[in-house]
Amino acid sequence: MVNLLQVTAEYRARAWGGKRLGPAAGGGGPVGEAWLVYEHNRVPGGPYAGRTLAEVTATEPEALLGPAVAAAAGGRFPLLLKLLDCADWLSVQVHPTDAQAAQLAGPGHLGKTEAWHILEAAPGARLIAGVQPGADPAALPAAIRNGTVLDFVQYHPVHAGDTVYIPAGTLHALGPGLFLYEIQQTSDITYRIYDWNRPASQGRALHLEESVIAVNPALAGEAHPAPRLAEDDLQRVLATPFFALDVITAARAERVANTEGAAFHALTVIEGAAEVHSGGEAVTLNRYASVIVAAGAGAYTIQPLGACRLLRGLPGGV
């Protein structure tokens, strides 16, 4: 098993996408998402060249994920890391829990708990997370079915550096003017409730009955304000049963870290550039590039190439 593993990001066109992530291949519309680390992304070089991350995980589960993580994840890579560029409202939607995903989509499907770390926010940018305080939860199913769910949603202003936790079952939508990093369970199950009167298509169908089952009116998400960071710092901004998220800043001093053999560390540069070194291997990360430090790597260092900032995603319980 290599210590440092990179995969090739996938860029996906979305009706609400912007211009930060570039044009879609084949003229497929604006790019809304970059899937940075995903089990079906392919390794571009080295001993695993051409294999998907899922295939590498199946070959070396404990060395890549860590023994306890591999056992809990059932042999799958447990996280999906993305960038989202929102030029318009995303649909008002909800994701199922693990149990609901198995019930509604079939055995082997996982639910989708996620979190957003806001990279850029236009003045006045906001998102939807949860149901308004005081709203009658018994009336929510009818509002979902008849297209009046906006009467129930709770809006939240957000700013660069904020982190928002969205447990499965939370009614939510991202608004225009937001550019963000998303960490989530390995799942692509989304139940759309309201799509802002965009033309219906096969790729943007509504899922009203599934949404009625999946939505939990008691959930409103958790917003964590941007932390105060020194120029060489590490702070954990979120810890959940499904994943954890750290913010790392480095300007002059290299950052020494260690997986302790317990779990992989997924690093993404969000400002500047850095080199990551481990066991004689080295990877240069420019802005928005990622690398997976295998659990078996142990010690590694982050060498800043000028002032930089990284996000570090880890599986839950680490």
What whole-number distance in Å separates Cα of residue 101 and Cα of residue 107?
Answer: 8
How many other β-carbons are positioned within 10 Å of the β-carbon of residue 249? 19
**Is the Cα dihedral 160, 163, 164, 168 positive or negative?**
positive
Which residues, at least 6 apart from 35, have a Cβ–Cβ distance to it below 8 Å? 9, 10, 11, 12, 41, 80, 81, 82
What Å distances lie between residue 141 and 44, 134, 216, 249, 278, CA to CA? 46, 16, 11, 45, 52
Q: Which of 20, 76, 192, 255 is catalytic?
A: 192
What whole-number distance in Å separates Cα of residue 166 and Cα of residue 144?
Answer: 19
Coil, strand or helix at 118? strand
- Please confirm, yes or no, whether 51 is among the known catalytic residues: no
Catalytic annotation, residues: 192
